[in-house]
Amino acid sequence: MEGLGFLKTAIIDQHFATRKRHNRLISLVAEHPRLLGIGIDEETAIVVGPDDQFEVIGNRNVIVYDASDATVTVTPAKAVGFHGMKMHVLLAGDRFDLERREAVR
């Protein structure tokens, strides 16, 4: 997958809730479980530090999908089924560790 290359361990999607892009990001993460899926709402951003952690800033949510431990099935028609995908819903001030794949308090 190509992108801007700022985060090599994640797929990022913007205008996430407003444009109802949950299914699109979930499908991509299910097909590429080594990558985190990060959905960023409007009026919201993440600030990534040198410690591989990011902090949420802004007025809305950031949702992180992690399929690294999920059981995923993708049919030839690209229908996706999975069990055990993790989802984190983060607010302004919340932090997430990209390497450990978990929210940080």
pLDDT single digits (tens) 48-80: 999 999 999 999 999 999 999 999 787 899 787
pLDDT at residue 47 tops 90: yes
Distance (Å) of CA 22 to CA 14, 19, 25, 42: 11, 9, 5, 14
More confident residue, 77 or 15: 77
> Which pTM value belongs to this model?
0.86
Q: Find, among 46, 44, 74, the residue nearest to 36 by Cα.
A: 46
The pLDDT-based confidence of 93 (bands split at 50, 70, 90) is very high
pLDDT of residue 4: 55
Q: What pairs with residue 54 in β-bridges? A: 48, 96
- List, in order of start, the domains of the chain with CATH numbers: 10-104 (3.40.50.880)
pLDDT at residue 38 tops 90: yes
